[in-house]
Amino acid sequence: MLAWMLVVAGLALVPGDGVWRMRRALGWVSRHRPFRHARVSKGCPCPFGGSNEHHRLESLLVMSEWVIRGRVVWEGAIDNLLSVDVNMIFRGNPRLVERTLYVDLESTVACYGAIEGISHPNEDFLILASSVQPLNALSQESAIVTNSLHCGSVVAIPWNTISRGFRHYLLNEDTEGGDWWRHRLKTFPSQDSSAIKIEVETRSREDWWVKPGISIFTACQDRSDILLETVQSWRAVQGVDEIIILDWSSTRMVLDHLREYAPEVLLDPRVIVARVTGQDRWILSRAFNLAAQLTSFAKILKADVDTILEPSFFQVHQLYPDRFFAGNWSITTMSTELHTNGLLYVNRRDFFLVNGYDERIVTYGWDDSDISKRLQKLFLNPMTFDLAYVRHRPHGHELRVEKQEGIDGSLLPARNLLAAPVEIQRNRVLSTKMNVPEWTVSSRTMKYTLFVKQEQLSAKLKKPFLEFLSSSSVPALSEVVTEEEAAESSKRAIRIILRDRFGISWLKKSMTLSFYKRLADVASYPESYAHVVGQVHGTCADRIFAYAVARAHARSQESGTNPWHFRVIWNSQDRSCSCKFGDLLLELDAEVFEDWSDKFHFMEGVHGSPEWENISIPNIAVQRSQLRFVAISNVDLDHVNIDNFRRELRSFQPSPVLIESLVRSSNRYGRTKSHPDWTTREVELMVDKWRGILPR
């Protein structure tokens, strides 16, 4: 918000109550000068004075499709046109800074002094305009001129008259949310076919600066070594007019890396390098959407930084208005081909008609399948790539999900082989199974502020360098749904991968997410654990005690050099206990099998044989990647951590069947007797009492 003050004859006009509160919150503007129009008999009102000043300024911003900060240059003025050196863009296409921008004195209102009457030439202005157009039909590359707003003029406000509070409002979304001015520009229809046709024609007229040709765009974070190899293959591809490289806050700037190891890339006039600062996490959808905005040719190819193209790639893949090319994982035959699934070749206008990638997808995967489905809703035919002309540059699997930690980050650590496929499934479930609104052209995207700098690429070459700072936020998919839905999506994703890859189909929905994650870690790296399979014997109550002892001992090993992974075999075809495990304990995280089966086949790399040993749990000596089969028929608490034992036993949720068994049992942990008239609640109280007399 902006507080303005008009000084007339040395007397300050007293603002209304609303403006007074605004002034106290934001502070006064730093300079005040009388307002005069610059040769404009009718135009937009300057946003100051009176109680509606904030509303006026906000209205001007909302209707402005081109909001910049630039320095007016007097030298070389042409007729009534003054050139502007752009140094910041709040709204508007960033690539237009490469052209010379002019403002027309005949159609510009300069607030706090006419442009031609300002005492400090070459001053910075905040300039608001409806759009930009070529200066003339024959000179689209050399110059552009701003067009008037709907109220009849371009508005220019001296930058040093703007308060700090309003500068902050220009830059940051903060608590404004969806009401922030940069979210309130007109939106376009997205689903109706007739509206889409009109929109295509409209955007074709607006994007006059888009040229026929092909742009390759990519984005990366800390993968400059891989980029050095792949970008050389892109430069060798026939028909490439432009290569956009977006550095998503790499630790070492991609620009510096290329300058040191591949200066010829920077000297290639087709290569544009830009950077986003302040991003700790790698978010593909947002990085590639911004990179796509930097393209300036009608056909665009999204290539991951590990994608290598053959020189004749575009000769083989002809792109027409009614089609697009996308990866198809279902037809791949090798793992290297699978990782080319993210490749996308599409007409630029179609990409933006579906609003690019879904920016709510903040971890690895599903972004490619999602955008393909939405492009097909534009009645476009999906075509598959000829994989003889594209290949994947191999690298470690951990690179796919690294730098995606955080509340909404990757479920599994980057070292886990299952981390990437689990994220693909989680994003798929969140996008398609949780009633999340579809990503459309009206969905709110990330907004950035562009800072234009000049970068010396060589002794003779100096180029504008575009540096972006994010100014808003977009909720992740997991934030759009409820906490329960987010947790269920995560568990379902792990269940799908464990079922499809290891045949594990016994997992219950009631098990906790932490248990699912640990099981995924064991399945992926069985050699990191000592594996113990125990078979319990005796009465139902005795079995539960034995199982609690085993779990307690396994827990005590977690922080040691040989962490246990414990599973239990439960034989219900036994006179001493004919109940199934699931009939006794409810809501328990446990790998329990009713009998021996082949469900352990995912333990590849684990050494051992199915020879049952009658040995007390605390006396088991087992090393990592070893497998021991233990018959648990007796309980020895002498060498078990009692606190762990109590914690395990009290975490059990006994079913009525188990409660009755415990009440009827007589063992050395406490003696109870049954009574035919006891109610269920009385039985539960007896169980609590029985737990209370456990040895301390």
Residue 656: pLDDT over 60 = yes
Query: Which one is predicted more confidently, 165 or 367?
Result: 367
32 residue type, one letter: H
244 residue type, one letter: I
CB atoms within 10 A of CB 621: 9
Cβ atoms of residues 632 and 546 within 8 Å:
yes
680, containing H or E segment: helix 680-692
Residue 366 confidence (pLDDT): 92
Give DSSP secondary structure letters for 121-164.
SS-EEEEEES-EEESSTT-TTTEEEEPP-TTSSEEEEEGGGS-H
Over the stretch 553-595, which tens digit does the pLDDT of each residue have? 888 777 777 788 888 888 777 777 777 887 777 767 778 877 6
Residue 196: pLDDT over 50 = no
143 residue type, one letter: A
Residue 626 confidence (pLDDT): 76
- As beta bridge partners, residue 158 has 125
Among the residue ranges 229-233, 441-445, 532-536, 600-604, the one predicted with the least confidence is 600-604
SS3 per-residue string spanning 390-439: EEECCCCHHHHCCCCCCCCCCCCCCCCCCHHHHHHHHHHHHHHHCCCCCC
Over the stretch 12-24, which tens digit does the pLDDT of each residue have? 222 333 332 333 2
Residues 684 and 673: their CA atoms lie apart, in Å, by 13
Inter-CA distances, 317 with 230, 309, 376, 388, Å: 19, 12, 18, 12
**Which residue has 């198809």 as its token pair?**
328
Residue 31: pLDDT over 50 = no
Find which of 50-54, 628-632, 660-664 is predicted with most confidence, using mean pLDDT.
Answer: 628-632
Among the residue ranges 85-89, 137-141, 498-502, the one predicted with the least confidence is 137-141
Radius of gyration of the chain (CA): 33
- Which of 549, 684, 688, 693 lies closest to 615 in space, CA to CA? 549
Query: Which one is predicted more confidently, 499 or 12?
Result: 499
C-alpha of 380 from chain center: 26
**CATH superfamily entry for domain 193-478:** Spore Coat Polysaccharide Biosynthesis Protein SpsA; Chain A (3.90.550.10)
Residues 650 and 661: their CA atoms lie apart, in Å, by 16
pLDDT, mean of residues 48-76: 77
Cβ atoms of residues 317 and 385 within 8 Å:
yes
**Which residue has 């594990």 as its token pair?**
504
Give DSSP secondary structure letters for 29-72.
-S-------SS-SS-PPPS-SSTTHHHHHHHHHHH-SEEEEEEE
Instruction: Classify residue 49 as exposed, middle or buried by CB count within 10 Å of its CB (0-12, 13-18, 19+).
Output: middle
Give residue 51's pLDDT band: very low, low, confident or very high (50, 70, 90).
low
Find which of 116-130, 375-389, 654-668 is predicted with most confidence, using mean pLDDT.
Answer: 375-389
Query: Which one is predicted more confidently, 408 or 416?
Result: 416
Among the residue ranges 125-134, 198-207, 550-559, 640-649, the one predicted with the least confidence is 198-207
Give residue 49's pLDDT band: very low, low, confident or very high (50, 70, 90).
low
Cβ atoms of residues 108 and 156 within 8 Å:
yes
Residue 141 confidence (pLDDT): 65
Residues 359 and 285: their CA atoms lie apart, in Å, by 5
Residue 506 confidence (pLDDT): 73
Q: From the DSSP assignment, how many helices (H) and strands (E) are in the chain?
A: 21, 30
pLDDT, mean of residues 179-184: 81
Strand, coil or helix: 296 = coil
Cβ atoms of residues 363 and 405 within 8 Å:
no
Cβ atoms of residues 664 and 540 within 8 Å:
no
pLDDT, mean of residues 479-502: 91
Residue 42: pLDDT over 90 = no
pLDDT, mean of residues 340-357: 93
SS3 per-residue string spanning 193-227: HHHHHHHHHHHHHHCCCCEEEEEEEEEECCCHHHH
Give residue 213's pLDDT band: very low, low, confident or very high (50, 70, 90).
very high
Beta-sheet pairing, 666-667 with 670-671: antiparallel
Beta-sheet pairing, 530-536 with 154-158: unpaired
Residue 430: pLDDT over 90 = yes
Residues carrying CATH 2.40.50.120, the chain: 7-183
Residue 111: pLDDT over 70 = yes
Residues 250 and 221: their CA atoms lie apart, in Å, by 5
Cβ atoms of residues 308 and 230 within 8 Å:
yes
% of the chain surpassing 90 pLDDT: 32
pLDDT, mean of residues 597-603: 51
Residues 166 and 170: their CA atoms lie apart, in Å, by 6
Residues 307 and 394: their CA atoms lie apart, in Å, by 9
**CATH class of the domain defined by 7-183:** mainly beta
pLDDT, mean of residues 193-198: 44
Inter-CA distances, 425 with 488, 491, 664, Å: 12, 10, 47
Over the stretch 505-548, which tens digit does the pLDDT of each residue have? 777 788 888 888 888 888 888 888 888 888 887 777 778 778 88
Residue 411 confidence (pLDDT): 86
Residue 682 confidence (pLDDT): 45
Q: Which residues have CB under 8 Å from 212's CB, separation 6+?
A: 297, 298
Residue 450 confidence (pLDDT): 95
Residue 457: pLDDT over 90 = no
Residues 557 and 531: their CA atoms lie apart, in Å, by 12
Residue 20 confidence (pLDDT): 29
φ/ψ bin of 671: left (φ > 0), alpha (ψ from -120 to 50), beta (otherwise): beta
Find which of 29-33, 67-71, 277-281, 310-314 is predicted with most confidence, using mean pLDDT.
Answer: 310-314
Query: Which one is predicted more confidently, 413 or 141?
Result: 413
Residues carrying CATH 3.90.550.10, the chain: 193-478
Query: How high is the mean pLDDT of the chain?
Result: 77
pLDDT, mean of residues 150-174: 83
DSSP label at 626? B
Residue 419: pLDDT over 80 = yes
Residues 45 and 483: their CA atoms lie apart, in Å, by 48
Residue 371: pLDDT over 90 = yes
Among the residue ranges 366-375, 600-609, 619-628, the one predicted with the least confidence is 600-609
Length of the chain, in residues: 696
Among the residue ranges 122-136, 170-184, 240-254, the one predicted with the least confidence is 170-184
Residue 117: pLDDT over 50 = no
Inter-CA distances, 436 with 430, 432, 444, 477, Å: 7, 7, 14, 8
> What are the tokens at 96?
């237009």
- As beta bridge partners, residue 83 has 73, 102
Residue 27 confidence (pLDDT): 33
